[in-house]
């Protein structure tokens, strides 16, 4: 199987890469092919889900098309803003017509996440008609939801068909276009940290998947200047890149190809928003800003001289009680799953830290070569943000966040080795955080 110019059959990584979708339809005017899709997959009565904005963008045309070709349907429209939570999902679930044989979502992040759960629950064919190139979750089999006030990933269903009409996508709110580019810029850090963890921890890594991500990301960067002009080539590059990001995660079986510490900064901001009502921004905007912060830290990391004593001191000074107290104060109830994770992961165990430090010391030059090869200098990232008119700081984005505490907490969100994990291992987390 070849995907995005990369041959994946008998991949050297040893994993079988299974394509998760039946079809991706992307291009200008492709919504006109919608009747053919309905016929091709034998859909007799779909359940349409949209909100007021996405219905105006594409949903009305979908329902009119179905009526014109004589296909009955049921529909559920959210009024006003829709939050990705249990209440919204339950409303859509309760509205589902059991006579329907397919779910068709019309929207982007929230609508797609809700519809993936509805389709999974009822075991139905699922089509998403995208209305904004804003995030890389279109092709994933999980949904990002707020469950009891906590942001979490819920197993759901990968779409069977994704339709992205560039004529519709280019007219999405400009901030959503920028968010899509921001999510793609995060792939600089994600691939870098995937490789670092492979070297330090022996974590699974696939160079072919990384190559696919790099190609998609670089195409987005090449066309960044056209995005704010709603240039179709730029919009298609971002949309296709986001779809490829989701597929790459499915190929790998992990989120590594698409997210690293920059995503965790965004998750921390979202957690604070859920727990304390603080302001948040679109995920991709948060990832874009966090990518620049991380690039600055990686630039500094390349100048570091390792010290075994410094790493030992960090490990010795760690207090489980103080760590729990600080995490709870900063994230409230959202800290509890992170604390439970440490019971399983035991990343703060002195012996485990000692083993990692030994590997880091032995491979330091190679690790820094990976940083050099995978991540452009911070000023290059800043240039891309400037061209796309994306904020370069969280203050500019209107987000109040204690970045020192937020960045320190990123190593605790998942069992994923990221920059903050590495800095803790070598005894430099506090020093680096002080510069944020």
Whether 231 and 31 have beta carbons less than 8 Å apart is answered as: no
- Report the pLDDT value the prediction gives residue 436, as an integer from 0 to 100: 87
Whether 177 and 133 have beta carbons less than 8 Å apart is answered as: yes
CA distance 67 to 62: 9
Q: What are phi and psi of 132, to 5 degrees?
A: -155, 135
Q: How many residues are recorded in the chain?
A: 436
**Residue 150: which pLDDT band, with cuts at 50, 70 and 90?**
low
CA distance 78 to 432: 44
Residues 252-268, mean pLDDT to the nearest whole number = 94
What is the helix (H) or strand (E) element at residue 132, kind and residue range?
Answer: none
Catalogue the long-range contacts made by 7-14 (C-beta closer than 8 Å, 24 or more residues apart): 7/208, 8/208, 8/251, 11/206, 11/208, 12/207, 12/208, 13/204, 13/205, 13/206, 13/207, 13/208, 13/209
Q: Is the model more confident about 48 or about 87? A: 48
CA distance 369 to 377: 13
Q: Measure Cα distances from 383 to 221, 223, 235 in Å.
A: 11, 13, 19
Cβ partners under 8 Å of residue 348, min gap 6: 315, 318, 320, 323, 342
**Residue 149: which pLDDT band, with cuts at 50, 70 and 90?**
low
**Residue 232: which pLDDT band, with cuts at 50, 70 and 90?**
very high
Instruction: Tell me the residue ranges of DSSP E strands in 241-318.
Output: none
Residue 4 pLDDT exceeds 90 = no
Q: Residue holding tokens 């890594």?
A: 205
Cβ partners under 8 Å of residue 90, min gap 6: none
pTM over 0.75: yes
CA distance 48 to 111: 11
At 293-346, the pLDDT tens digits run: 999 999 999 999 999 899 899 989 999 999 999 999 999 999 999 999 999 999
Residue 99 pLDDT exceeds 90 = yes
Whether 294 and 262 have beta carbons less than 8 Å apart is answered as: yes
Q: Residue holding tokens 């006579």?
A: 99
Closest alpha carbon to 115 in 185, 44, 176, 54: 54
Whether 243 and 251 have beta carbons less than 8 Å apart is answered as: no
Residues 149-159, mean pLDDT to the nearest whole number = 82
């Amino acid at each position: 199987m070849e995907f995005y110019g990369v041959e994946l059959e008998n991949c050297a990584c040893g994993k079988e890469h299974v394509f998760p979708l039946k079809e991706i339809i992307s291009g200008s005017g492709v919504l006109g092919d919608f009747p053919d899709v309905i016929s091709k997959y034998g859909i007799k009565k779909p359940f349409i889900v949209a909100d007021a904005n996405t219905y105006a963008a594409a949903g009305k045309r979908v329902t009119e098309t179905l009526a014109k070709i004589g296909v009955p349907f049921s529909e559920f429209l959210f009024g006003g803003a829709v939050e990705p939570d249990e209440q919204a999902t339950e409303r859509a679930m309760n509205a589902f017509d059991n006579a329907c044989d397919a779910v068709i979502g019309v929207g982007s992040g929230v609508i797609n996440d809700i519809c993936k759960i509805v389709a999974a629950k009822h075991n139905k064919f699922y089509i998403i008609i995208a209305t904004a190139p804003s995030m890389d979750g279109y092709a994933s089999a999980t949904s990002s939801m707020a469950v009891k006030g906590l942001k979490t990933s819920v197993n759901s269903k990968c779409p069977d068909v994704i339709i992205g009409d560039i004529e519709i996508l280019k007219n999405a709110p400009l901030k959503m276009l920028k968010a899509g580019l921001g999510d793609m810029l995060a792939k600089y850090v994600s691939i870098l940290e995937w490789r670092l963890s492979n070297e330090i921890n022996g974590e699974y890594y696939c160079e072919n998947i990384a190559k696919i991500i790099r190609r998609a990301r670089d195409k987005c960067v090449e066309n960044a200047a056209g995005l704010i002009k709603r240039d179709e080539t730029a919009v298609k590059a971002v949309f296709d890149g986001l779809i490829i990001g989701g597929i790459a995660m499915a190929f790998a079986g992990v989120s590594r190809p698409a997210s690293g510490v920059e995503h965790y900064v965004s998750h921390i901001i979202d957690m604070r928003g859920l727990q304390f009502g603080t302001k948040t921004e679109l995920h991709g905007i948060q990832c874009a800003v966090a990518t620049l912060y991380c690039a600055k830290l990686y630039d500094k990391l390349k100048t570091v001289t390792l010290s075994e004593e410094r790493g030992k001191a960090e490990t010795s000074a760690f207090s489980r009680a103080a760590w729990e107290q600080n995490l709870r104060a900063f994230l409230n109830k959202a800290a509890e799953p992170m604390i439970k994770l440490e019971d399983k992961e035991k990343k703060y165990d002195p012996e485990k830290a000692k083993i990692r430090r030994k590997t880091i010391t032995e491979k330091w030059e190679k690790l820094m070569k990976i940083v050099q090869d995978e991540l452009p200098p911070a000023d290059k990232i800043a240039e891309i943000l400037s061209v796309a008119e994306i904020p370069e700081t969280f203050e500019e984005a209107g987000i109040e966040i204690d970045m020192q505490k937020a960045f320190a907490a990123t190593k605790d969100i998942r069992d994923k080795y990221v920059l903050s994990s590495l800095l803790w291992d070598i005894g430099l987390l506090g020093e680096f955080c002080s510069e944020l």
